[in-house]
Copies of this chain bind each other. A is one copy, B any other.
Amino acid sequence: MLKPEAANRLRAIVGAGDYRDDIEALVAHSYDGTPMLQSLPDAVIYPESTEEVSKIMAVLAEYGIPLVSRGSGSNLSGGTVPSQGGVVMVMHRMNRILEVDLENLTATVQPGIITAEFIAHVESLGLFYPPDPSSMRISTIGGNIAECSGGLRGLKYGTTKDYVIGLEAVLAGGEVIRTGGKLMKDVAGYDLTKLLVGSEGTLAVITEATLKLIPPPKTKKTMLAMYKDLYGAARTVSRIIESRIIPATLEFLDNPTIRVVDDFAKLGLPLDMEAILLIEQDGDPEAVERDMERIREVCELEQAERVEVAATREEAEKLLTARRSAFTALARLRPTTILEDATVPRSKIADMVLRINEIARKYNVQIATFGHAGDGNLHPTATTDARDHEEIERVEQAFAEIFEAAIELGGTITGEHGVGMVKAPYLEWKTGPAGIALMKGIKQAFDPKGLLNPGKMFAKESRKRVVLQHGQ
């Protein structure tokens, strides 16, 4: 519980209805999209303006109260679990699109806007905002910025970071800063904009963002390539890129994922395939035709059993929606679903899938793998049961080995989900101790009292890294 004096001051800033410390509000904000993590905050607050955020943060600094800012809490890294109590600041009331600038092709938004609503609005104006995390129907732009969310279109179009060109943010003491602007180029000092993107709420609270928009592609085609041989599918990924084609989307689903997705979405997918690639290309009609023809050749060269092009936009949408539902579909199998995020150079996709399957067998756990193959960003997903402590222990060991394998292959522990609490013990594996020290120095520069999303990104203790023998 907060001191009554602090609580009263916070209540006075937002009004009684938007400061809550009843048990329903506390429980509802004690967890996020990540399984097996829960911690009660002391209060939940819903600011309506940058000014309110600034006042709130000044009060929190004065009393030394931790702050977790959040959108919809759909993240999968425990990034918004209030693990040290304090105040959860929900940004949903700050959900306006402040401007779409058709001359400069920018949008300026508040952080609480739902990603899919923002995308729909922008598309209604004939423009395009590419980042499309699978969570986009519930996630917020602010959350996407905090996590540097990717999505299915990341291969060709990049991730959230590539579209954030200006920010307004409130610092730990309540001070408001502005970075960047409606500027395609700005090298005035260190790039605070890109530093704040992906900083997981540990450096500042984002209260406004200026986003780059681009002209939409004129047309789009969607293809499914189905393989009896997993590695044929993986090799296809490299071969397409080697052919100097960057598809808009290049997604991979393994057999367990195909089965659950088909059962969930009733697509009539062939259940005897070991892997399916979902491939989209967009752009000018002639270029799309040419690329799709060449991609089909590559698929066939790599022994795809079947290659099908979606006949209509509706059919294509159905396939994409099915892919986006992979997490939901897998979640129906067993009580607990742990979706991971190891990423490797795309040439190593085949090796990585092989390693994941070996590791799953070694620990006797169920892992389905799907993900953004074109980016090398795989989502090995364990279906398990949090109540079975012995099994959960094996799942955790398996994931530790999976992260280890990703790093051995030149990859990273997280491609788009962030570090949060879940990956914090592994961060040093990627960055080394000097990298961690620099990051802690940056944290110190922004948040000397350590009040912003404490316990995230930096672990009290790093896991020891056991260097594995290949084939172990």
**Complex: how many Å from CA A215 to CA B247?**
11
The reply on A272 being an interface residue by CB < 8 A is no
A105 CB to nearest B CB, Å: 6
Question: Are the C-beta atoms of A162 and B162 separated by less than 8 Å?
Answer: yes
Stoichiometry, copies per complex:
2
User: Smallest CB-CB separation from A431: which chain B residue?
Assistant: B189
The reply on A111 being an interface residue by CB < 8 A is no
Proximity bits, A145-181, B CB within 8 Å = 1, else 0 = 0011010001100010110000000010001111101
Question: Are the C-beta atoms of A183 and B415 separated by less than 8 Å?
Answer: yes
Q: Which of B102, B103, B185 contacts A377, CB < 8 Å?
A: B185
Question: Are the C-beta atoms of A147 and B187 separated by less than 8 Å?
Answer: yes
The reply on A82 being an interface residue by CB < 8 A is no
Interface size (A, Cβ < 8 Å)?
Answer: 91
The reply on A326 being an interface residue by CB < 8 A is no
The reply on A330 being an interface residue by CB < 8 A is no
Question: Are the C-beta atoms of B445 and A442 separated by less than 8 Å?
Answer: yes
Contacts of A106 in B (CB 8 A): 345
Proximity bits, A45-64, B CB within 8 Å = 1, else 0 = 00000000000000000000
The reply on A1 being an interface residue by CB < 8 A is no
Q: List 26 A-B pairs, Cβ < 8 Å.
A: A104-B345, A159-B185, A175-B434, A177-B432, A179-B435, A183-B344, A185-B343, A185-B376, A185-B416, A187-B417, A188-B413, A189-B457, A190-B198, A192-B431, A192-B439, A194-B195, A195-B195, A214-B246, A215-B244, A215-B245, A215-B246, A216-B244, A284-B284, A286-B287, A440-B445, A442-B445
